[in-house]
Structure 1
Amino acid sequence: MDLWDATGHDAEYNMLLNEMMASDSHFVVDKVVHECTEVLVGVSSLVDVSGGNGAIARAIAKSFPHIKRSILDLPHVIQSTPTDGMIEFVAGDMRHHVPSADVALLKAEI
């Protein structure tokens, strides 16, 4: 069983892994939002591939509210994520399909 399969079998591990991944997202988002804004000029939609709880998409939403944001992640990740209307959560597997968007964001973690 690999790291990602394990998240589907242990809810606590899934939560901890997503919190860990979100913690370093703040650094990445700060760079994108404050130092690389030209990357998102003219963008109207963004899909965060394996976006977990949406930490990056929520931060982008604050600076770029006009961008339609969606998160693609495994069903067991999406089902435990609270929604607030800022982000559309799509359950799926990036190895099979990624929703269409102007930008696909894939942040490497591990």
Structure 2
Amino acid sequence: MFSFADSITLKSAVELRIANIIHSHDGPITLSQIASCITDGLTSPDITTIARIMRLLIRRKIFIIHHPLDGRDFLFDLNNSSRWLLHDSEQTLTPIVLMENHPWQIAPWHYFSQCVKECGIAFKKAYGYEIWDLASGNPYFNKLFNDGIACSRIGGLISDIVKAYPHIKGVNFDLPHGVSTTPTYNGVSHIGGDMFHAIPNGDAVIMKVLP
């Protein structure tokens, strides 16, 4: 019943930039050192809550802990999993963690049983419109959604193909509000449109299924 706590706790660690804090120290650090970097200048962070976050994520093998033999404070460090939580890293997964765990994305899960009985789309049952409609009319959600989807690197994948085979011309085709926030990739042009009406001409098509 409490499996949801894993993803929400992971989101909290991303929002608090814990991986970046540890990374900036170039080595294992104490809980107090982590807490000292989590402040807005007005309030002191709750170190007990930080400890609970770290304890859960260590058990899920997201971070690692060192137990000094001399009785000093425990030390926390990154592993291969937590390195994916570094903000501004080329291979970061932080945008999709934040997107998938946003309340707007979680609410539709509560409508699955209704979808079974009535058919339909859970997101639309939760809000009365589809996710594309929300993204096209809400700049904040549009950026949140597109940043998360960018982690799947469909544009980056096409760019890698073009680099390996320079004679290929790459096109990233998505809804207009989707391509409006897509990063620039060498050798890849971004075209906005609706695949249910028309798609650009090409010799091969790669389709990415949303998470």
Q: Same fold (TM over 0.5)?
A: yes
Counterpart for residue 135 of structure 2: 7
- Judge conservation of contact 2:171–2:191 (CA < 8 Å) in 1: yes
- The structure-2 alpha-carbon separation of the partners of 1:87 and 1:96, relative to structure 1 and needing over 3 Å to count, comes to same
Partner of 2:152, secondary structure, is helix
SS at match of 1:90: strand
Give the equivalent residue in structure 2 for 1:77. 178
Q: Retained in 1: the 8 A contact 2:176–2:193?
A: yes
Computing the radius of gyration from Cα coordinates, the structure with the larger value is: 2
Are 2:193 and 1:97 aligned?
A: no
Cα gap change, 1:64/1:85 in structure 2, threshold over 3 Å: closer, same or farther?
A: same
Equivalent residue for 1:61?
A: 162
Aligned equivalents of 2:200, 2:208: Cα separation in 1: 16
The 3 A distance-change label for structure 1 pair 74 and 23 is same
Bigger share in helix: 2
What is the aligned length? Answer: 83
**Which among 128, 136, 145 is matched to residue 17 of structure 1?**
145
Q: Which runs of 5+ in 2 are unaligned?
A: 1-128
Question: Which consecutive residues of structure 1, in runs of 5 or more, have no partner in the other structure?
Answer: 26-50
User: Structure 1 residues 22, 82: CA separation in 2 closer, same or farther (over 3 Å shift)?
Assistant: closer
Greater length-normalized contact order (CA 8 Å, ≥ 6 residues apart): 1
Query: Any conservation in 1 of the 2:175–2:194 contact (CA below 8 Å)?
Result: yes
Q: Which amino acid aligns with 1:61?
A: V
Matched residue type, 1:96: H
1:68-107 deviation line (CA, Å, top 9, x unaligned): 1111111222233354552222121001001110111111
Cα distance in 2, alignment partners of residues 65 and 12 from structure 1: 36
Shift of 1:22: 2.3
Q: What is the CA RMSD across the aligned residues, in angstroms?
A: 2.1
Deviation at 1:5, TM superposition (A): 1.8
TM-score for the superposition, normalised by structure 1: 0.61
CA distance in 2, matches of 1:16, 1:61: 27
Q: 1:10 to 1:59 in 2, by over 3 A?
A: farther
